[in-house]
Amino acid sequence: MGFETCGPNEVMVISGCCYARPRYVNGGCVFVWPKIQRIQRLPLAVITVNVESLDVRTRQGVVISMKGVAQIQVCADIIEILQMASENFLGRTEEEIGYVVQQTLQGHQRAMISSMSAEIQVCADIIEMLQMASENFLGRTEEEIGYVVQQTLEGHQRAIISSMSAEEIYVDRQKFSRAFYEEPVSDLINMGIRLVSYTISDIWDGEGFLKKIGQKRAQEMKNRREAGETLSLKKS
């Protein structure tokens, strides 16, 4: 060890001598004392996870399979907040920090104070998420993190499929995606992970049920189009 550097897509977590709490360093350089201090790394890059659910019975009893693609990331918003806090308050006591914030708050209207209070709570939540991410994934590779999260997301995807009808899933994919964003949120927060995006890449079944739904929808759209054309001809 000695001087250690890290890029913008990872966090160095330094602990040991001189640190009552771990220090987080992102995109910078820091000196680490050999033997008496420890350095570990936490990847921050967006990780793509394939979420596959095979032969799941829907609410109506139709067995379908689904493939989804999710992008996940260790919650890293706190890094910028910690850097700004260090610049402003490093070495100051709680009383000194409280006094500075008090003067700032007193200079704003009530609406602004309410807004800042909400932001303070968000900051506290982000700090907690980073601590959870460190507990769960510190020192692990992106592949290892992706695998752990994949197992969680696949379980939730199966649960959502079971709660909806095959027609709902096939026709209204946005509804399914909204449910997917809501369903695993508490588990992901406890892991220190945020869901960046999710899309359904494929849905199929072995009995042609979904194909019939597609044909039915296509026929309905054709009928509506023909009815509209007929109405237009009558008006003209």
Residue ranges of the domains in the chain? Answer: 1-43, 46-205, 206-236
Query: Residue 52: helix, strand or coil by DSSP?
Result: strand
Which residues neighbour 133 within 8 Å (Cβ) at sequence distance 6 or greater? Answer: 42, 74, 75, 191, 192, 193
Q: How are strands ordered across the β-sheet holding 193-204?
A: 47-57, 63-74, 193-204
Torsion, CA 166, CA 167, CA 173, CA 179, rounded to 10: -60
Fold of 46-205: Tetrahydropterin Synthase; Chain A (3.30.479)
Q: What is the pLDDT along the chain (236 residues), one digit of tens a residue?
A: 688 888 777 888 888 888 777 777 777 788 888 888 888 888 888 899 999 999 999 998 999 999 999 999 887 665 555 556 666 666 677 777 777 766 766 655 444 444 444 444 444 566 677 778 888 888 889 999 999 999 999 999 999 999 999 989 988 889 999 999 988 888 988 888 989 999 999 999 988 888 887 676 666 676 777 666 666 766 66
Could you give the CA distance from residue 126 to residue 120 in angstroms, rounded to a whole number?
10
Take residue 158 and report the two structure tokens written for it: 């199966």
Nearest to 52 by CA among 154, 195, 176: 154
Tell me the H-state helices in 164-208: 166-171, 173-182, 185-191
The secondary element (H helix, E strand) that includes residue 211 is: helix 209-235
